[in-house]
Each structure stands twice: as structure tokens, then as C-alpha cells.
């Protein structure tokens, strides 16, 4: 990046002398480089389809597996970052591109993430024949899809919200487009982006675990990692190994929280645009190390020098002279042609899809899948309602007690990040032992990991309620049911909707994993679109995977449009607190 | 216009020449809305020109056209003989909102412009520190904008503009976000820099909404009229600098500008007659709050004003900004409660009877005046009376307003209309359904 982020602008006179923090930083960095080198070498080992990779259940192997899992996560995050910067920048800069790119993003967001895995894996394998890298890429791509859309939306929204006066100021200062992108737009978007990135990574653990076991044409490839470890443990009915994996994951998330989450959030504070809220966030030790160790300082200087070179080069580029713009009529005509082109493109695609469906699957299959989707829809709705019934009162109770809230919040954040699929085997073995009905009892798995978003948001919403309201309510003697109806529920509604949207989106995604569960050679199945996609993936039936994924995506899109967006608008319009 | 004109040596000592500037904003429905109408303007060397005008008179838009930030629909701007199509080097701007980059330190903000020009690092630092010293910010180089008070922030804004040694300084209401005391100090400091020639700047264009401020520092004042923005008057000020705000000559100019700004001109008040006229005129209602209108009328009737007040004096004694007072005075005139002339405002008979009445009677008088003077409100009432259910969606009236005004402006005017109508109990409004009706709420 352009500036040596995180370091004060004014240079220190003694900046080359090593400090105490260097003693910690240097070994850490060198060790990290070696680990990455080793693991990335492992990623591209030769591999033929049909060959099987041995996954050992020895807990001593777990750290190495964990590292491979983390590396996939980091690679996906890097790719998401690059993708979202480019995509959002284009969408924000060009009105015409925006017309196409934003709806596409909206749809991509609704496509189930594991669906991407099923669809793209063959392509990736073909890309790197005879190497494991193809499978690795497919897994990374699946994680990428769980993060990229979200981050892109956040960036796009920030880019178009850059204050007008700052844009004008940067033009008056003659910043080149490249310079103003890095000096204005990206810094402005950073606080929102860091927060979004962190939430995406939290969600990503779920998919990193789920995407390591890849089925292609009836044979399963297990990429070394925690997810594969778990799936081997399930095959062997080894509860101890499941336990080890859960502990390894716990440690992983703790480290991630300490090394990435907290430092990034604290550092992102500085880019906050609002001037109010002098909330002092404690500087996390890792950030302090980066800021204090001279080693990082030197590295920062190097980065800065090269960034400056690029920046200077960009300001030397000839800039287009602003000419009087094309006559409005011509512009309107060009816009019209572009819109017409897009409509034609969409119509063409529609014809193509209808052809495909008729030839490959048949309309009765489509109807069948739609009905399956309806079943899953019922599950999602019931589960969200249940979760709301349970967590809204608890969330409000916690939110009213700031001291409790402060203690509970990190725990909930942690729970939200924890991949719930690690717990599936435990639940499944319980269902088997007690002979429960899988149609009902598998369902809660869908919301196991996502319910926390509701709780988390309700607590935050309650804490944001001005104390004045509570005082007034107390003063007027508003109590019991009236208190809930007139104060608490309307007050937290916007926050609740935000939480419920996230939870419902996550549940749809989890359906593919949650409607089919295995324990050794016992397979439990609930009827629904998720288990349909899972079954078709196992069978390697590409047209039916595509059908299932499309229908699922349409359901998500429809529910978003018809329910969540309306509730969201209602919350925005009527119940906002300012 | 497609080729860049060769440097023109005989630009008559004019730094900026704007000829026939018109600006039309495109509406979503492709109807254009004219905000600037054929403006001719020059900035001569060594001159400070202040631009005054009501909100919505396009004065800020004009400044942006001169800056090269917004292209005019018609006309050309030249800077030292060169046409301006984009921000030109040599022209710097200071913003009302400061427009500082919150993630850069004071030094970083000031250096940014030099960095964009490719000035080497050492020179950049030197020049930035010199500019920071010049503007009286030494010691704050490593501070972030959010650590500074408003006045300090605007000093950074000035340092950032001055560090590139601009030929021309464009100031967009640079002091209006500051409190009176801070604004006065900063204004004095900037004026001193200019008068003592400690900055190489050759000319300043200065958009303001504070009349006294403008009279204090400008060599020439240009008053913009609204709907569409045009030059309504030009006043040359030949008083020597370090002007005495209480001197009769100073007060006379202030009064003159006040009169120009607050008089509802024939063009806006319109001829009253045909129905089309009553509908189209006064679409841009000033968004005056009822509370303030009532308060001002009450103050006007009693001691020391007793029905007639000098506008600047009134602003002072009631702690009103010029903008507020202009809006209120315009509203009182439209409603027939007061008249403005010669820098004074005088209450009418109706205005006095309103001030003397009790709450119920006030509402009746207000309703009568609305029906008599505000064509659009009378029109709404007529529609509601004629409709069988005595109700109509607000979207209908909003649409009518949008035929004449920008979307934003139409929304604002409708809000004022609803506020006034509700107070007068001419009609009721249901926010949730967005419906105007004759029901009692």
C-alpha cells in the first residue's frame, strides 16, 4: 500500500536501532516464512485422480494440518481482497459497468458456497493436471466465494459514499486517479472493510472445513487439513479424534483473534471518519509489536519507497483533459443501447437455460427440486423464528447489563467464528443412539453456527438504545408487556433484522452440509434441497448440481427481496433512532 | 472549444474571465433545471471578490465552475487566457467543511498536494512546514485532524491551499462552520497575510453567507439572485482596509446588501392572476419554521423595535445568522406579515394582529394568509376539497413540484408546505401512508 500503514508519519531519529520488540518479531517472522514455504510446497505435490492421500488421526499431525487449513484461508483472503478492490472500483467508477456488476454480485451472494465447489472443481483440476494444486485451488475458491462478495459490497458502498468535498479536494490537489484511489477511497473504506473482512473470515472457517473433502465423480479427495481430519475421524467413528480437532480449531481461532482480528480492528480505528466517540481501544500486543519493532519499520520504509515510485509514475501519466461533455442526448442514446444490449444478453441466457433444462433434466425434476427447496425454506423460517424467540429476550437482558455484555460479547464472537460443522458428528451420534427422527433433528444443525448473529446484534442494538428512553419509560411507569412492545422490541428491531438476515443466509448455506450427516457407515438424511445437492455432488451429476444450486440461489434471492429487504427498509424508515 | 487555446498574452490583467456561464442540471426525467443563467464575471489582479446570495442561488456551483470541478453547460471560463476544463494548477480551494483527510496528520494533509505535483520529499517537507508555520499551526504537525478544533482544522485547510503557492484562492464559505469568535480571528489572520503580501496569491474569490464578513474584506461584492442563479447586483467597496464595522459608510453597504437579499423581487413574487400563475409562483418556499416565524413577529411588535427593525440589528439582537434571517424575512413577506425595504423590516397590519392574537386565532389568521398568498397550498386544499374521499397521496403533489424543482428541493418544499398546512389546520398528513387529507388527526 501507499503509506507505511500503522507507523507515524514523523520519522524517528533512532529508527534503525533495534528495539526490545525486535527480539520477538524477528524469530516470529523468520519462522512464519519457513512454515509458509514448507506448506506451499506441499500444496503442489504431484497427484493423480484416484490416488488417495493418507490422513492420519494421530493428534501430533494436527498442527501441520491446521497450518495447511490456515494457509488456504489466507490465500482465499488475499484473493478476495484483490478481487473486491478491482470489482468495486470498476462498479463505483463506471455507471454502465455498475448496471451489470452490482446485480451479478447480488446473485452471486445468493449462490450457496459449497455449490461453487461442486461446480468449479473439475475446471480447476483440468487447469493443473497431475498436481494437487487443482484441488487446492478449488477449495480456496470455495472459501474465496464465502468472503469476496461480502467484501466487494462493503467496498463498493464505501466507494460511492466517499464525501463529495473530499473528492473535490483531491481533484483540486491534482491527485491522479491512482493516487486518489489509494489516498482517499481505500482509506475511507478501510474501517468498514476490516470489520467486514473479519466477519467474513469468521464465516469462512465453516467453509474451509467443509471444502477440504472434495468429491469428484464418485471419488473423494481429502486435502490435508482439519476438515479432512474430521471427516476421516467420522469414518472411523473416533470421538477422541473429533475432540482433538475441535481443540485444534479452538486454538486456531484464538491465534487468529490475537494476531489478526484485534490488531486490524484497532488499526482500522484511525481511518474512522466520524469524529465523535472517543472510545479508546486498547492497543493489542501484536499491533504494538508491529509498531514498535524497527524491523517492521524498515520493511515499511521499503514498501513506502516502491509505492511512492508507482505513485509518482502515475502522476506523470498524461491525464485526460476535461472537454465539454458529449451532448446529453448522445449520452442518453448510448445508455439506451447499453441497456438494450444487457436485456438481449439476459434473454439469450434465458433461452439457453430453458434448452439445457429440457435436454438434461426435464421439467418434472425442476418441480421436484422446487418442492424440496420449499421444505428447506420451512426449516429455515421455523429455525430463525425459534432462535429469535430464544435469543431476543436473552440478548436484551444481556444488553441492559453492560458489564455482563462486555464479558459475553467476545465469547459470542468466538462462537460465531467456530465452524459448527465440527460438532455435527457429536449431534449425529446422539440422533443414532436415541433413534430420533432425522427430518426434524438434523434441522437444528443448520442454525447451530448462525444463531449467534442474532444474539450478537440484539445485544449491540440494546446497548445502543439511549439511556434516556429507559429513564423516561421508568418515569412513566411503562412496565412488563408494554415495556417490551413500546420500547425494547421497536428499539432493537433494526439490529435484529441485520442479525436475522445474516443468520438466514448462513443457514441456507449450511443446508448442504446439515441435511446429510454421517457417522461411520450410518448416513442420516433429511429431505430438502440441501441433501439433494449433496447427493448429486456425490454422484457427480453436473446438470442436477447446477439445477439444485440455481433453485437454492433463487430461493435465497426471493426471500431476500420479499422479506428481508422490506423489513430492512421498514427498520430504516420508521425505527431508526436519529 | 475542442482545442486548447494558445496562451493569450493580452488577458487585460484579468486573472479569471467567465463569459456567459449557464449550468443546467439534468433531472431523472430528462427535464433540465437551470441553476446558473448567463453569468459574466471577471477577477482582476489584486482583488478580493465576495459572492453573496440566498441558499439555492447557485453561488457555490459558480465557484465550482470557476475551479474547473464542474463543467458549465454553456459559456467558458478562462484563467490567464487559458480555458479551464479541469482543476488548473495555480488555483487552490478552501472548503466550508474543511475537507481534510482524517487519516493523515496535519503535515500529511499539507504535503499531499505537493506530493501529487511530484515535489521531492525534502523540499515537500520544508515547504509544508513553512506553510504550517505561516498559518500559525507550528507544533501541531503530527496531530490528526480529529484532535483539532474547528478553527485549527480550517487553518490546516488554508495551509494545504497555500502550500502550492496558488495564484488564485477560491474560498467556499470558509468561516461559516466556525463560531463567531474563531471565524473573526482566522479571517483577520488571512486578511493580514494578504494585505502584507506574505502569500504570492494574486486574487481571491470568496463565497459567503455573512454580509458583514463580506463587506469587511471584499473589494467588490457580487449579489446573486436565485431561480435561476444570476448576478443581481455588484457593489464596489472602496473603503480602506482595517474597516470599522460601526462606521456609517460600512453600515450603509451592509444595509444595501441586506435589502438586496431580503426583498422578494418581482420576478419571484410574480404577477398574480391566472391559475397557472398562482400554481407556478412561489414554488420555492423558504423553509422557515413556524416557531421562528411566530417568535420573530412577537419580537418585532414590542420594544425596542415597535413594528420596524433594522435587519442587521435584528440579526444581532436575536442571534440569527444572515441565512436564517433572510429565510424568515422572505417567509414573512410571502405570507403578508411584513415588508422589507431599505435594510429594514416592517410589520404589516395583519402581522400585528397575528402577534396580538391568542393561539386559536393565530391559526385562523395563518390559514387565511396561506390560502390568500401561497398558491400551492390553496391548490392542495382545493384538490382535497374536490376529491370524494378528501384525501390525496403526497406523491401527487411532490410530482407537481418536481416539474419545477430538483428532487431534493421539491422534497424540502413539500415538507415546509406540510408543516405550514398542519399548523394552520388546513389539512392533515399521515406519515406512514404518505397521504394528505382533511381528517382531523
ipTM over 0.95: no
B274: pLDDT strictly greater than 60: no
Distance from CA of A165 to the nearest CA of B (A): 6
Residue B414 phi, psi dihedral angles, 5° rounding: -65, -40
The confidence score (pLDDT) of residue B268 equals 43
The confidence score (pLDDT) of residue A18 equals 57
What gap in Å lies between CA A253 and CA A417, rounded to an integer?
A: 7
| Domains in chain B, CATH or no CATH each | 14-260 (3.40.50.300), 277-437 (1.10.10)
In this prediction the pTM is 0.78
The side-by-side arrangement of strands in the sheet containing B203-207 is B91-94, B168-172, B203-207, B47-53, B220-225, B230-236
Interface probe, candidates B61, B87, B92, B144, chain A, greatest A C-beta count within 10 A: B87
pLDDT digits (tens, 9 = 90+) for A497-548: 888 888 888 888 888 888 887 777 778 888 999 889 888 887 777 788 888 8
A495 contacts: CB under 8 Å, gap ≥ 6: A457, A458, A460, A461, A462, A464
What gap in Å lies between CA A532 and CA B124, rounded to an integer?
A: 65
Helix (H, G, I), strand (E, B) or coil at B51: strand
- In this structure, what C-alpha cell is assigned to residue A504? 438466514
- Taking the CA atoms of B249, B252, B258 and B264 in sequence, report the sign of the dihedral they define: negative
Q: What is the DSSP letter of A455?
A: H
Interface probe, candidates A12, A166, A172, chain B, greatest B C-beta count within 10 A: A172
pLDDT digits (tens, 9 = 90+) for B97-150: 999 998 899 999 999 999 888 888 899 999 999 999 999 999 999 999 988 998
What gap in Å lies between CA B44 and CA B46, rounded to an integer?
A: 6
- Residue A322: which of B71, B97, B116 has the nearest Cβ? B71
Helix (H, G, I), strand (E, B) or coil at B411: helix
| Domains in chain A, CATH or no CATH each | 60-280 (1.10.3720.10), 340-578 (1.10.3720.10)
What gap in Å lies between CA B187 and CA B212, rounded to an integer?
A: 12
Query: Which residues make beta-bridge pairs with B437?
Result: B391, B428
- Output the CA–CA distances (angstroms, integers) from residue A488 to A395, A403, A564, in the order listed: 11, 19, 20
Question: Is A165 in contact with B116 (Cβ distance < 8 A)?
Answer: no
- Residue B108: which of A9, A166, A319 has the nearest Cβ? A9
Query: Which residues make beta-bridge pairs with A522?
Result: A519
One-character DSSP codes across A340-379: HHHHHHHHHHHHHHHHHHHHHT-HHHHHHHHHHHHHHHHH
B102 touches chain A (CB under 8 A): yes
Helix (H, G, I), strand (E, B) or coil at B205: strand
Average pLDDT over residues A467-485: 83
Name chain B contacts of A173, Cβ cutoff 8 Å.
Answer: 112-113, 116, 160
Question: Is A172 in contact with B115 (Cβ distance < 8 A)?
Answer: no
Question: Is A312 in contact with B432 (Cβ distance < 8 A)?
Answer: no
Name chain A contacts of B86, Cβ cutoff 8 Å.
Answer: 171, 319, 321-322
Enclosing H/E stretch for A207: helix A186-210
pLDDT digits (tens, 9 = 90+) for A309-359: 666 666 655 555 444 454 556 777 777 888 788 888 878 887 887 787 777
Interface probe, candidates B65, B77, B116, chain A, greatest A C-beta count within 10 A: B116
Q: What is the DSSP letter of B57?
A: S
Q: Are the CB atoms for A107 and A553 separated by under 8 Å?
A: yes
One-character DSSP codes across A122-170: HHHHHHSTTBTHHHHHHHHHHHHHHHHHHHHHHHHHHHHTS-HHHHHHH
Cα A500–A505–A506 angle (5° rounding)? Answer: 100
Q: How confident is the model at residue A220 (pLDDT cuts 50, 70, 90)?
A: confident
Q: Are the CB atoms for A287 and A299 separated by under 8 Å?
A: no
Q: How many CB pairs under 8 A join A and B?
A: 94
Q: How many residues does chain A have?
A: 578
Q: How far is CA A122 from the centre of its chain?
A: 24
What gap in Å lies between CA A544 and CA A532, rounded to an integer?
A: 9
pLDDT digits (tens, 9 = 90+) for B357-407: 999 999 999 999 999 888 888 889 999 999 888 889 988 888 888 877 777
Average pLDDT over residues B242-257: 89
pLDDT digits (tens, 9 = 90+) for A364-383: 888 999 999 999 999 999 99
pLDDT over 90 percentage in chain B: 44
What residue spans of A238-362 are helical by DSSP H? 239-256, 262-268, 285-292, 294-316, 328-360
What gap in Å lies between CA B389 and CA B435, rounded to an integer?
A: 11
Average pLDDT over residues A10-27: 56
Q: Are the CB atoms for A408 and A490 separated by under 8 Å?
A: no
Count of beta carbons in the 10 Å neighbourhood of residue B32: 12
Least confident among A212-221, A236-245, A285-294, B191-200: A285-294
- In this structure, what C-alpha cell is assigned to residue A25? 518479531
For residue B138, the number of C-alpha atoms closer than 13 Å in the C-beta half-sphere is 8
- In this structure, what C-alpha cell is assigned to residue B109? 494533509
Better-scored residue on pLDDT, A485 or A82: A82
The confidence score (pLDDT) of residue A389 equals 94
B214 contacts: CB under 8 Å, gap ≥ 6: B50, B52, B206, B208, B221, B257
What gap in Å lies between CA B225 and CA B230, rounded to an integer?
A: 5
Amino acid at each position: 500500500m501507499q503509506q507505511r500503514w500503522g507507523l507515524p508519519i514523523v520519522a524517528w531519529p533512532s529508527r534503525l536501532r533495534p528495539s526490545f520488540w525486535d527480539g520477538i518479531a524477528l524469530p516470529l517472522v523468520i519462522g512464519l516464512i519457513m512454515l509458509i514455504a514448507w506448506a506451499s510446497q506441499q500444496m503442489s505435490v504431484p497427484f493423480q485422480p484416484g490416488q488417495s492421500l493418507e490422513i492420519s488421526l494421530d493428534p501430533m499431525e494436527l498442527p501441520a494440518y491446521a497450518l495447511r487449513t490456515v494457509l488456504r484461508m489466507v490465500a482465499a483472503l488475499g484473493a478476495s481482497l484483490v478481487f473486491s478492490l478491482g470489482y468495486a472500483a470498476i462498479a463505483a467508477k463506471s455507471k454502465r459497468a455498475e448496471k451489470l456488476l452490482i446485480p451479478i454480485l447480488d446473485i452471486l451472494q445468493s449462490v450457496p458456497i459449497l455449490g461453487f465447489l461442486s461446480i468449479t472443481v473439475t475446471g480447476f483440476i483440468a487447469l493443473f493436471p497431475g498436481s494437487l494444486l487443482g484441488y487446492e485451488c478449488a477449495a480456496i475458491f470455495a472459501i474465496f466465494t464465502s468472503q469476496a462478495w461480502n467484501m466487494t459490497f462493503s467496498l463498493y458502498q464505501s466507494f460511492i459514499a466517499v464525501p463529495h468535498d473530499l473528492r473535490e479536494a483531491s481533484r483540486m490537489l491534482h491527485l491522479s486517479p491512482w493516487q486518489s484511489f489509494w489516498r482517499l477511497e481505500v482509506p475511507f473504506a478501510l474501517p468498514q472493510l476490516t470489520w467486514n473482512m473479519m466477519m467474513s473470515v469468521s464465516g469462512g472457517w465453516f467453509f474451509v472445513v467443509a471444502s477440504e473433502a472434495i468429491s469428484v465423480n464418485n471419488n473423494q479427495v481429502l486435502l490435508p487439513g482439519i476438515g479432512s481430519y474430521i471427516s476421516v475421524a467420522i469414518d472411523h467413528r473416533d470421538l477422541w479424534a473429533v475432540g482433538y480437532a475441535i481443540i485444534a480449531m479452538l486454538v486456531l481461532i484464538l491465534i487468529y483473534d490475537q494476531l489478526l482480528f484485534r490488531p486490524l480492528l484497532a488499526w482500522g480505528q484511525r481511518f474512522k471518519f466520524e469524529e465523535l466517540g472517543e472510545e479508546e481501544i486498547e492497543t493489542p500486543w501484536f499491533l504494538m509489536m508491529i509498531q514498535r519493532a524497527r524491523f517492521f519499520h524498515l520493511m515499511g520504509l521499503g514498501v513506502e519507497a516502491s509505492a511512492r515510485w508507482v505513485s509518482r509514475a502515475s502522476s506523470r501519466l498524461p491525464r485526460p483533459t476535461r472537454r465539454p461533455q458529449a451532448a446529453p442526448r448522445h449520452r442518453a442514446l448510448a445508455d439506451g443501447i447499453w441497456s438494450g444490449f444487457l436485456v438481449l444478453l439476459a434473454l439469450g441466457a434465458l433461452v439457453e437455460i430453458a434448452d439445457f433444462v429440457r435436454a438434461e433434466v426435464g421439467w418434472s425434476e425442476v418441480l421436484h427440486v422446487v418442492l424440496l427447496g420449499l421444505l428447506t425454506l420451512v426449516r429455515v423460517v421455523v429455525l430463525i423464528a425459534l432462535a429469535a424467540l430464544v435469543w431476543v429476550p436473552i440478548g436484551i437482558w444481556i444488553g441492559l447489563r453492560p458489564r455482563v455484555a462486555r464479558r459475553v460479547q467476545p465469547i459470542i464472537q468466538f462462537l460465531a467464528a467456530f465452524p459448527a460443522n465440527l460438532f455435527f458428528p457429536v449431534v449425529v451420534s446422539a440422533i443414532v443412539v436415541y433413534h430420533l427422527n432425522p427430518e426434524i433433528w438434523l434441522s437444528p444443525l443448520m442454525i447451530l453456527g448462525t444463531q449467534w448473529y442474532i444474539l450478537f446484534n440484539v445485544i449491540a442494538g440494546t446497548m445502543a438504545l439511549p439511556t434516556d428512553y429507559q429513564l423516561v419509560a421508568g418515569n412513566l411507569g411503562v412496565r412488563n408487556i408494554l415495556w417490551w412492545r413500546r420500547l425494547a422490541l421497536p428499539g432493537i428491531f433494526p439490529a435484529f433484522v441485520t442479525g436475522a438476515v445474516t443468520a438466514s443466509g448462513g443457514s441456507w448455506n449450511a443446508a448442504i452440509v446439515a441435511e446429510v450427516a454421517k457417522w461411520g457407515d450410518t448416513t442420516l438424511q433429511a429431505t430438502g434441497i440441501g441433501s439433494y445437492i449433496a447427493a448429486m455432488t456425490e454422484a457427480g451429476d453436473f446438470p442436477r448440481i447446477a439445477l439444485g444450486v440455481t433453485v437454492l440461489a433463487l430461493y435465497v434471492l426471493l426471500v431476500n427481496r420479499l422479506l428481508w429487504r422490506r423489513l430492512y427498509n421498514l427498520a430504516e424508515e420508521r425505527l431508526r433512532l436519529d | 472549444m475542442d482545442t486548447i487555446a494558445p496562451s493569450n498574452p493580452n488577458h487585460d490583467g484579468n486573472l479569471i474571465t467567465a463569459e456567459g456561464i449557464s449550468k443546467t442540471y439534468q433531472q431523472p426525467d430528462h427535464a433540465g433545471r437551470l441553476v446558473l443563467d448567463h453569468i459574466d464575471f471577471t477577477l482582476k489582479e489584486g482583488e478580493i471578490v465576495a459572492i453573496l446570495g440566498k441558499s439555492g442561488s447557485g453561488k457555490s456551483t459558480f465557484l465550482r465552475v470557476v475551479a474547473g470541478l464542474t463543467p458549465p453547460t454553456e459559456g467558458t471560463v478562462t484563467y490567464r487566457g487559458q480555458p479551464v476544463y479541469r482543476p488548473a494548477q495555480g488555483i487552490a480551494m478552501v472548503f466550508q467543511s474543511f475537507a481534510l483527510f482524517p487519516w493523515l496528520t496535519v503535515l500529511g494533509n499539507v504535503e499531499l498536494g505537493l506530493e501529487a505535483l511530484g515535489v521531492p520529499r525534502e523540499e515537500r517537507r520544508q515547504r509544508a512546514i513553512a506553510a504550517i508555520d505561516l498559518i500559525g499551526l507550528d507544533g501541531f504537525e503530527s496531530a490528526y485532524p480529529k484532535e483539532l478544533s474547528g478553527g485549527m482544522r480550517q487553518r490546516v485547510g488554508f495551509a494545504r491551499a497555500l502550500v502550492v503557492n496558488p495564484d488564485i484562492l477560491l474560498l467556499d464559505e470558509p468561516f461559516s462552520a466556525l463560531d463567531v469568535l474563531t471565524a473573526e480571528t482566522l479571517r483577520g489572520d488571512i486578511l493580514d497575510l494578504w494585505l502584507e503580501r506574505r502569500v504570492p496569491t494574486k486574487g481571491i474569490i470568496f463565497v459567503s453567507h455573512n454580509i458583514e464578513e463580506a463587506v469587511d474584506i471584499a473589494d467588490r461584492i457580487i449579489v446573486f439572485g436565485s431561480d435561476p442563479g444570476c448576478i443581481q447586483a455588484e457593489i464596489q467597496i472602496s473603503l480602506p482596509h482595517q474597516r470599522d464595522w460601526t462606521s456609517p459608510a460600512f453600515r450603509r453597504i451592509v444595509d444595501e446588501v441586506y435589502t438586496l437579499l431580503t426583498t422578494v423581487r418581482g420576478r419571484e413574487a410574480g404577477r398574480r392572476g391566472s391559475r397557472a400563475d398562482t400554481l407556478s409562483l412561489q414554488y420555492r418556499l423558504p423553509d422557515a419554521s413556524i416557531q421562528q416565524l411566530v417568535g420573530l413577529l412577537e419580537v418585532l411588535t414590542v420594544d425596542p423595535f415597535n413594528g420596524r427593525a433594522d435587519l442587521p440589528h435584528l440579526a444581532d439582537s436575536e442571534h440569527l445568522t444572515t441565512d436564517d434571517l433572510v429565510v424568515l424575512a422572505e417567509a414573512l413577506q410571502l405570507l403578508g406579515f411584513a415588508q422589507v425595504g431599505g435594510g429594514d423590516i416592517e410589520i404589516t397590519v395583519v402581522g400585528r394582529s397575528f402577534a396580538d392574537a391568542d393561539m386559536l386565532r393565530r391559526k385562523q389568521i395563518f390559514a387565511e394568509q396561506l390560502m390568500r398568498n401561497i398558491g400551492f397550498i390553496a391548490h392542495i386544499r382545493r384538490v382535497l376539497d374536490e376529491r370524494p374521499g378528501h384525501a390525496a397521496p403526497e406523491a401527487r403533489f411532490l410530482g407537481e413540484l418536481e416539474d419545477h424543482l430538483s428532487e431534493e428541493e421539491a422534497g424540502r418544499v413539500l415538507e415546509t408546505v406540510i408543516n405550514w398546512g398542519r399548523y394552520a389546520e388546513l389539512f392533515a398528513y399521515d406519515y406512514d401512508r404518505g397521504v394528505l387529507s382533511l381528517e382531523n388527526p
